[in-house]
Amino acid sequence: MPQRRYLVSGRVQGVGFRWFVEHEARRIGVNGTVRNLDSGEVETFASGSDEQLAELRRALERGPKAARVDRVDEQETDFDFSRYTGFSIQGAW
């Protein structure tokens, strides 16, 4: 199963971006996690089919209404998905 790391830059913190990603990832059916980074970026790890991951990337490029996405960097990863069933937000209350 393909695995990707996405790094999203722009106005992506404080605008509900992680919750948007969680909603879209669950709708699409990918496993993984999303978190804010100290750099102001949002990092997402996802595992799914090529089609699912392409759909997730389009969602990341769009973002929620209050966000401004400047860039989405994507790379393959060997992230350990064994502890994830479904999709979760890291650092949420």
- For position 62, which CATH number holds? 3.30.70.100
Q: Does the active-site annotation cover 31? A: no
Q: What is the pLDDT of residue 64?
A: 97
91 inside domain? no
DSSP code of residue 29: T
The domain in which residue 69 lies consists of 3-81
Q: What is the pLDDT of residue 57?
A: 98
Written as tens digits, the pLDDT of the chain (93 aa) is 899 999 999 999 999 999 999 999 999 999 999 999 999 999 999 999 999 999 999 999 999 999 999 999 999 998 887 777 789 999 865
75 inside domain? yes
Across the beta sheet with 3-11, the strand order is 68-76, 3-11, 42-47, 31-36, 87-89
54 inside domain? yes
64 inside domain? yes
Cα–Cα distance list, 54 to 4, 58, 91 (Å): 10, 6, 25
Which residue in the list 4, 5, 11, 18 is annotated as catalytic? 18
86 inside domain? no
90 inside domain? no
Q: Does the active-site annotation cover 68? A: no
Number of domains in the chain: 1
Q: What is the pLDDT of residue 82?
A: 79
The whole-model pTM stands at 0.94
E strand intervals along the chain:
3-11, 31-36, 42-47, 68-76, 87-89
CA distance linking residue 86 with residue 34, whole number of Å? 12
CA distance linking residue 32 with residue 22, whole number of Å? 9
17 inside domain? yes
Residue 40 identity: G
Q: What is the pLDDT of residue 69?
A: 98
Q: What is the pLDDT of residue 80?
A: 84
Which residue in the list 36, 58, 68, 71 is annotated as catalytic? 36
Q: What is the pLDDT of residue 92?
A: 63
Q: What is the pLDDT of residue 93?
A: 55
65 inside domain? yes
